[in-house]
Every structure is written in C-alpha cells, then in structure tokens.
Structure 1
C-alpha cells in the first residue's frame, strides 16, 4: 500500500494542475464604463442599475466569467487616471473580452474643483496641459477618442478582445423620438472602433429604437424613473444588455459563442408590503372615501418596495377571516415580507344579525355560536383572538408584522378628537405585545395632528362622513404611517 502513495500523490497533483489550467483558461468578460454600466455598488441603490449588472445572465457562465469594473461618475479619462483601467489591464489574459462604454461624463469641465473629468471633444491628438484643481497634479488632457483608443490598444496587446459601445440614450423625448448622440460620443466611439478594427455596438441608436417602440409613457416609470433621465431601472438595464447581446449575436465577434439561446433573466425582487384592514385603508373606488393605503406608496421608495393593498371595505377581523381574505394574503406571504394590520371600525357591529361582522369584545378566548342567514353556523371569536391569529400566522411565514390602531373619526368633544384607547386600540396593542411585534398607535398620533390643525381644516378631510377620508385626509394618514414606521427603526 505504501508503494502506491507516490503514485496517488502524483495523480492528485496532476488532476489539480489540470483543473487549475482549465479554470485559468476560462475567458472573462470585463466591463469598463460609467454609472450606466454599474450604478453605485451595483446593488440597485435607489432602484438604479447598470447593464453590466445583467449582461452575465445572457451568457453561459459555465464557460465564461463576467466582471463588472465600471464606476459611476467616471469618464474615459478619469477611469484611467484613477487606476481603474490598470487594475483591469493587470488581470487581462489572452482570449478575454473588454466591453467599453464611456461618454456620459466626458462632456464635463476639464478642470474644476468638483470632478475635473471632461475630455477634449473628438478623436484627435489635441492636448491641454492643466494643473488639476481637484487632484493638485499637473496633467495632460487628451481627446475622448484618444482615451478610448488607449484602452483598446492596451487590451489587444494582452491578447484580449475589445468591444466598443456607444453610450446608452437618455430618457429625453422630442416629438415621440429619443435624441441620438451620433454626432458626438456615439460617432467618436464608432470611429475608434473602425480605426482599430474592433467590434462596435451602436447601443445608443439600437436602444433608442427599442424605447421608441415602447413609447415614452411606457418607458418612463418602468425602464427609467421619472426622477432620473440617465440611469436605468433594472428593466432598463436588462433592455440595454439585451441590445448588446442581440448585436453580438449578429456580429463576427467570438463572444457570440457564449451567448445563451434562451436566457432566463431574473430581476431583483422588491420588498413586498401587504396592507390588511378595512375601508379606511382600502381602495374603495370612491373619491370621497379614500383609504390611506391608496396614498401610502407616495411615501415609500417604490423602486425597492411593492405595496400590495389587500384591505377591503366593510370588513372586520371576523369577516376578513371568515370570507377567506386572510387566507389569500397568508398564502402569498414570503419570508421578509411586511404585513400592516389595522382593524376596529367594523368590529363593533352586530355579532348575530344584519351584516354578521361584529366580533366579540376584548382579546380573550370566549366564543359564540352564530346561525347565519344561509342557515350555516359560525363560531365567532374575540377581536383580539382574530388579531393574534393574523399576527401569528404571518410570523410563521417569516413575515414582519406591524399592528396599527384604527384611524380616528371626525368626532370631537370639547375641541378634542374622540379616541378609542379603551377598546380596539387597547386590544390591538395587547395583541401586538403578546405576539412580540411592532405597534403604532395611529389613532393617537393622527388625533394629535387633527387637534393641531383644528376642526374646520379637518372637516375638509372627511367629505363623505365622519369615518372615511377623502384624498387629502388619506395622504395625511399615510404620511403619518410612513413617519411612524421610520421612527420604529424599520427599513421598508
């Protein structure tokens, strides 16, 4: 047996050596560029993404690796001055690919105290000597084309395969068309690609064509957010990446052999926030009875959060449970989801007649057998029992629960808004404490705001009755909920 040890050692060493060679021979696709290639840390902060974050999903990553080295705020000049290109160049090996896209920031000032990132327009050999105000260094600034050509040449010397892209279009529209940059950075990028005989992808024009097919209304808010005409959402970044891949497929570039025939694109998931309650939270299709859940997304970062309003008008804890509405919510819950629960306005109704929506008072284990209009029987529990059930079952699904007391009605006694502190607010709080979840006394917080505004101003919030708010009242309540959640230290 001992005589086999040297042979076994040799075999293992041989296998490890060949495995290492195989790993090292796997080509890498490097992306270099600005924030439209990689926004921030590439984690979707603010809902913004670069196409370099998704290009790998279109490629067979069992055969090729992808590394996104782009950095927001850089130009073709500063990407190199900061040493970012050198870091990529040092890693390059024969057969690697370099996807290059600059231009969005090259139009800035050549020398200032803020960013000093501009380049000379064009592709010529003009230079400008400066004492850089920002870096305190003496510097010779070149043209945009000079910097792009430098990257291309140095990559080629390492045996890598450069691919130049024109900068993605901005979400600016004129008469239903997206303006192109084919007389500036798009043109100059193409000229360098032709000069160096490397693949050029007219990302600017091709993506603009796709945007025009979709139309401005469909693009804005989905592929770009209204707040930002330059940086794409996840869907916008995927659109950019898909255009690049489509052009690679049609090119003679060897990268196309790594393109997947049927890529499965996975978009980053948003946090889901479920709203569970009655008409004071619900979307009631009535402009005079607007639930605060309708306006709640106005106070959320909807680039990261999806608000799902499952509240239903006329429901109590009992009917929300008995009608299967809670079961529907529960079946959708995933770990990390949020559930905001608020009831009380309808639980004071009759237990055994009329709408059959009243729950028993308190939070005990009392029950009452009730015969319904259709002859069937229902076991009715206390308000607190139903609340505990919702909270417990949401927690079992891994959801994060926030319980809220009901919104105050427009009812006043001696210039004070009437509270419900001794009934449904109290029982809601006790249910939250029993199950160890967050609690917001919305009734008290909003009542204090009403009192500060005064009766006359608050009256305008209630155009229909003393319970349901109009749009402005719903906004005040939703903003209060958002502020209160923030004070809890909860990150929605």
Structure 2
C-alpha cells in the first residue's frame, strides 16, 4: 500500500509540474503563426470591388481594437483607412497580421486564405519590412527574410516549426504576392514600411531608403506596380511637425514604443496612404472615395502643389461660384516663391455677389486632372448659374508612355484618336487628345448649367519674345469652345502683348524660376490680364460680378 501511495504521489507531482511548465511556456506554441488562431475580416459585400490590405502590426494591430486602451493604444493605419472610402462602393478589408513578415505571411497560410478572397478588379496593398529583419531561424519567431531583392536562398531546418524550409529574399516574397495578385486579375500596390520614432544625428527622422524602404521601391520599379513611399512621406511629415508632436503620435503609456503608433498616428499614416492611392489613379479606388477621402490630395511630384484639403468650398452656397481649374501656373501656393494667377484674381470680384474657388493644382494636365477624380470634385460643387475658368497645356505635351512625362501627356489635337498607355500596375489607360478632355470639361459643366471659359496657357518666360507660345493649344481650345458652346480667351496672346508693353527687363522680374512659374508680381500681372480678357468675352458674362463695372 505504501508503495502504491508513493507511486500515486509521484505521478501527481509529475502532472502538476508538467502542467505548470506548460502554463509557463505558452509562447513556444503560439509564436508559430501557422498555429495562431487569428480571425480576419472578409469582404462585407462580395459583389463590390475590394481594397485588401496585407502586412504586419503597423497595418493591423492585435485585434484591431487598441488593446482596450481606446485611442491611446496601439493602432495600425489599416483601421482608419476605411474612413476615407464609401462602404457602398468598395470593401476595405484589413487582412494584415501582427508579428508576421513577408515570409511568414506566406508560409503560415494567411496569404492563401486571403488570396482566395481576391477577385478581378480588386486592389491589394502590401506593407512588410519591420519583421523581415528578424532572425531567419530560431525557436521564437523564425520570421526573418534574406536581405535584398535577389534570388538568393537559404535552406534551413526551422527550429520553430520543425520543418525544412527554403528562405528567400524580402524582394522575392513581394514578387510572389504581386504575381499571385495579377493572376487573379487584381491590382497590386507596394507600401514601404512606416518609419520608426527614431532620429539621426542631425535631428531628422531615420529613413529606410538603404534597406526595406529602398528594396520595396526597387521591386515596384522592376515589376511596374504602384508604389507608395510611406516611409519617406511619413518621415517628412514628422520632420515638419517636430519631435514633441511626433512623440504624441505614439502611445504615451508606452514611452519606449518606437514602432506602433496610437490612433492619431495611424490616421496620419492612413492619410498618406490615401494620397498615394489617389496618385495611382486606379478607377475603383478613385470612384469609391467619400468626401473625406476626396479632401486628401494625391501624392504629388516635385511640382508646386497646394494640398486639396486646403482648397475651400463656396463661402456662401446661396451665391453663384466662379471656379478656377488648371495647373501650377494657376495655383502654386507660394512654394519656393511661386504664385499662380488664380491666387490673385479674387480681389477683382465682388464677394457679395460671387464666390471664387481655385481648384487648380500643380503638375496636372487636362488628362490627369480628369483621371485623378479632381474634376468630379469640382462638378460636385457646381450648380446652375456658376462659371468655370479652365487653363491647361503646360503639362500636356510630350510623348505618351514616356516615363519622364509622369503619365500626364495627352494626345495632340481635338479628335477622337486614342493611345493605350500601360500603367505600372499592369493595367492600360486609354489616353485621349487634349481636345477630348477639354470637351469633356465643357460638356460636364454646361450640363450643370454653368458658363465655361477655356483659357490658353500663360506663356513661358523664355519664349514670348521670340515666338508665339502655345499656338497649337490656343487653337485647340478655340475649336473645342466653338464646338461645345463655351467661351474662349486667348490668354497666351493677351499676356504676351502685356509683356511687350512693360519690356523684357520687367518681365524677368515676374518669374520665380527659369521659365514657367511666376512670383507674386507676375501672378498679379497675369490675374489683371485674365480679368481684361474676361471683360472682352461676347455677352460680357461676368459684368455683374466684377468690381468697377
């Protein structure tokens, strides 16, 4: 009996010990993402296109609830991203999983389950990198990838899973996702990883251009897919805000946290992603933006740009509105001393009788102002009795398909001819003539009951003296206006004649750069010329709005 009791006691102690040890080491089991019980959302309406996100905890953190700490907790940018889209037009499906790398998102099976939801017309945004720098093989996470974008491999006996595995480079996994997405008829977009809350010796936020940010960009270029440099764009915002403001974007209850933002930081990153997605010009996304999303300016090139969320709406909705549409010669926002004439035209109008709203933005052509959805933003504000001044041409020239033209060149002329322009995401954009886009603006605005004036472009600093600048664009504008029932003003010629009156020495003082953008004095001169042109239009349509009449 004593021997039996001793054996029973020993067995009981062994069970207690094993149970306690099992409770003490749960991480050894749960760190294998293939075994993790993760519930991820699916498209709410499978009939709609979907914007699907894959990535790590900086995209979707934990259970996507701030760990019960509300806005002060850790949040990924994928959660607030949905706030910029209309759920009746698109599903925003955040399938990112915390703790994963590009490698383990694939090997865990999460990618296969996500890919099953991807259909033709969807957009898949991927952001990995933070966890790819981890060890390639250990018994904790075993999630690291080989550095770079090449075809190098390493065969390991995975200490976590117990399986033999061939590990590839970071770039290889991104290319695998891209190939799978394209095979489903969907559009892939790469984001570089969000920056850390860390500063360099010069006080600037550290960038990842030398590793994961740069490698993400390299894959995007190689595969010709859309790319959002979230790392550099967010770091630039951080630098502008200052260190104290950046710290406030991270959980205050965790001052040591350098990777995961709070909800405010997630919202800032989401805005940058929306700006990048708008710049991609993918039709399902542009069409599905809600009012909040349309207020975010597309990520831009180096041209002078005024953010779209700074563009006002009519101050008094009961009054008629004069809208101004164009490029950076119309609105530059004083960037590097550059000012467009549209920024100096309002004082000529009686604000008790009309609103003046300038929707022009730098770097845009007749084509891109239309394809980026900016014209729809104008139309949504337009009503009967309004008017719109439209000036494009500076960015419409060049060869369609030439990367140097940044996909903004339109076709020459006013005819129905088209040219197919392959986009980096693998889709094809059908590009029309300059006149086709201008005619579309005329028809849309007139359907709203508005008066339309097409203005030929202001002349270059280095061409007005020797030749007739923008002669073809002026002729195309004239033809479109005549055919569509709009008004035409030869602003190129009017400004040229004004320049000749004041002389070359004075005109040189009107410019902020070598040939295109005026300074404040030049903008005021051109604005006065625009008003003079308006006063000569048939029927004098602006008579009641202009001061001094």
- TM norm structure 1: 0.48
Structure with larger Rg: 1
- TM norm structure 2: 0.43
